[in-house]
Structure 1
Amino acid sequence: MNLHFGKVLSTCSSLLCLSMKVLGIEFAPLMVPMHRRYETLAVASWFFLAAFGGLTSLLVSLYLLFTRLWWLVPLYTTWTYLDRHVGESGGRTNVWVQNWRWWNHLKNYFPVETDYSQGFSLDPTRNYLFCCFPHGIIPVGPFTTLANTWSEFRKSYPEFTVKLAVLQALVLLPIVRELGLAYGAISCSIKSLNYELSRPEGGHIVNLMPGGAVEAYNSQPGKYKFVVKKRKGFVKVALKNGSPLVPVISFGETDLFRQIDNRVLRNVQEFLRKYFFLGLPPVVFMGRGFFQYSFGMIPRRKPITTVVGTPIEVTKLENPTNEQVEELHDKFVQALVALFDEYKYKYVENPEDQHLELQ
């Protein structure tokens, strides 16, 4: 009797741990380890803040104007205005925020790892410009593998201060800006990059997505299309500061979401991005939900490996010519393509059929 009951209990437990598919929808297992629930909650809340936090805070501010707390809105608006240049002068990192265990759960959700097996070392007396591809819907790779204090990379290079260059709008929008600045975000403007890379003491790394938010449109599972051909501003910044350029590719970044790819829709999205969304791409994407894997707005649990290439040496030039910019840009693009071609056999399915597209 006890043996029979044990078999039944074991069978029930196995069923609870299996995902179920009903009407084409794949539901999550009923029995999920608590650490995985923490990870899902961490990534869902982070993605909501990154994608919709600015709009939500603006709506909350509008609501407060019609309540007894209306005075908080002009007070905070004044503070934001007076503090508007902080994103272009090194930001305002908060060690306590950077050490939140929340970031560790976020990192473990996918999970992520860093591969810098090309055999190089970083000089703590110099500043580096890490040029990260692809942008993805939201750049999870650079955020979790390079800027995250819980990451393997940060533990390997504790002497470096790592900053994440983001759209200027993200360091101006209420509430969201405070969390972003505390995490280590700075503006991606030329002024901001020059400020960070010209630090005389060295030991600073700036993670920049040269493809920009526009590259989010190219994010499709299993595809790698980088916007880099006409992006040369980052090369000029590197030359003016003598900062080595480091090609970085996050394999798996484009597998987190599916999105609708339609020419008419793309034109509408670009119009909205330029004139209404402060440069943020209004992409139409599909991920997973809290309790099912078929649809939703949470990134899919896919592994991401960020490969850090060998730094490209840069000679400091106060006024680089167009020819010098072109020469270094060509050298960087060649290194980026070579990095992809080398590591796709390790981190991409069907690597023989996978080719890097450049825009």
Structure 2
Amino acid sequence: MLVPKVERAGEMDGPTSPLPSCPTKTRQKQWLEALGTLHYVLAVIILGPFSCVLLFLFLFTQLWPLTVLYLMWLYLDRDTPSQGGRRWKWLKKWSIWKHQRDYFPIKLVKTAELPPNQNYVLGSHPHGIMCMGMVCNFISECNDFSRHFPGLQPWITTLVEFFYLPVFRDYLLAAGLRPVSRHSLDFVLSQPQLGQAVVIVIGGGQELLSTSPGQHCLKLLNRKGFVRLALRHGASLVPTYSFGENDIFETKTFPEGSWLNLCQVVHKRIIGFSPCIFWGRSFFLPNSWGLLPHPRPITTVVGAPIPVPQLSTPTEEQVDHYHRLYMEALERLFEEHKESCGISASSHLTFR
């Protein structure tokens, strides 16, 4: 399969344009793309903490019943994320995703068929800062996932802790996300309806801490839970890689073992996610820092499935065998597509 070469975005078009110069786009289209992307960034960063603070402040006003009622709803609805979820199908075709796609742009490349008569565990790499490629390609229909992979139902997974955050959890549920817990994943892959595709960002928060532009270092050597999951259910393993994911934000990383890195690790163990320092560009001034990511191409390549037998209690040797096959397949996927996606021939994946 031929994959078109992805070119890097050009220079910014003046101090008031949120996008690079593009003669085929109107100024209104450029603003819509920037707003669509900013919506996602602000939802990830602000929605959860803002909702917590707002509900707390309501307790000291005449609106205190709203906080009490919502907390009651939170308790009664506590099992929904790990079971059927509450996906809003119309949200998948929301036009805001298309604007976000066009901002970078984001592409989806299919390299093999994924028949809907079986289940799959898709490994998403790299984590990046906000998983932009995974979100656009697997949550929404902006790149026609259902046309590329008919009959598949993708389920994006994220931290369990996010589903304790008021309002933000409902935003995640509406988008079709679910907790990356054993109970949640077993529930999906145990459904009588085949064609379930669980998408897991395997590197997680630890990989996020080492994210930097131009780097392709994955936290994978000791991550084997997804292989055990696939073996328990006989679900095929599928490697995916989003080229350019690490390039859309500038980051500040700290050497392993330093006290700042230790603070990040401890925070992750206590709270569940890793705080990190990152920045993009300003919404109005392209040469100033801000929360808007740099408009650089992202191409998500979906690899061929690796057949896996169903073993209720796989041995460590069996887990290691399929983990090794997965790593080899992911490395081949990277090598075959890196140059067509704007990555230099001298760049290689590294695992830690």
TM-score of the pair, normalised by structure 2: 0.90
The equivalent of 1:341 in structure 2 is 335
1:32 CA drift (Å): 6.2
- After superposition, the C-alpha distances for 1:147-178 in whole angstroms (9 at most, x for unaligned) are 21222323323422211111012222111111
What amino acid is aligned across from residue 64 of structure 1 in structure 2? F
| Contact 1:28-1:293 within 8 A present in 2 as well | no
| Contact 2:15-2:284 within 8 A present in 1 as well | no
Change (3 A) 1:316 1:66: same
Matched, 1:19 2:14: yes
SS at match of 2:221: coil
- C-alpha separation in 1, matches of 2:100 and 2:20: 19
What amino acid is aligned across from residue 221 of structure 2 in structure 1? K
What amino acid is aligned across from residue 183 of structure 1 in structure 2? A
| Contact 1:244-1:312 within 8 A present in 2 as well | yes
What amino acid is aligned across from residue 322 of structure 1 in structure 2? E
The equivalent of 1:10 in structure 2 is none
The equivalent of 1:55 in structure 2 is 49
1:215 CA drift (Å): 1.0
Deviates more, 1:103-112 or 1:249-258: 103-112
The equivalent of 1:77 in structure 2 is 71
The equivalent of 1:268 in structure 2 is 263
- After superposition, the C-alpha distances for 1:300-343 in whole angstroms (9 at most, x for unaligned) are 11110001010000001111111111111111111111111111
The equivalent of 1:289 in structure 2 is 282
Cα RMSD after superposing both structures:
2.0
SS at match of 2:209: helix
What amino acid is aligned across from residue 283 of structure 2 in structure 1? F
SS at match of 1:86: coil
Change (3 A) 1:225 1:90: farther
Deviates more, 1:102-111 or 1:279-288: 102-111
The equivalent of 2:218 in structure 1 is 226
- C-alpha separation in 1, matches of 2:245 and 2:254: 21
The equivalent of 1:204 in structure 2 is 196
Percent identity over paired residues: 33
1:20 CA drift (Å): 5.0
Deviates more, 1:91-100 or 1:281-290: 91-100
Q: What are the within-5 Å matches in structure 2 for residues 131-280 of structure 1?
A: 131-263=123-255, 264=258, 265-275=260-270, 278-280=271-273
Deviates more, 1:194-203 or 1:67-76: 194-203
1:286 CA drift (Å): 1.2
| Contact 1:250-1:304 within 8 A present in 2 as well | yes
The equivalent of 1:105 in structure 2 is 99
1:103 CA drift (Å): 1.8
Q: Which has the higher helix share?
A: 1
What amino acid is aligned across from residue 239 of structure 1 in structure 2? L
The equivalent of 2:350 in structure 1 is 357
SS at match of 2:330: helix
Specify every segment of 5 or more residues in structure 2 that has no aligned partner in the other structure, as ranges: 1-11
Aligned length: 333
| Contact 1:113-1:152 within 8 A present in 2 as well | no
Which protein, 1 or 2, shows the higher relative CO under an 8 Å CA cutoff with sep ≥ 6? 2
| Contact 2:241-2:300 within 8 A present in 1 as well | yes
1:85 CA drift (Å): 1.5
Matched, 1:122 2:117: no
- C-alpha separation in 2, matches of 1:331 and 1:160: 23
1:349 CA drift (Å): 3.3
Higher radius of gyration, 1 or 2: 1
| Contact 2:156-2:178 within 8 A present in 1 as well | yes
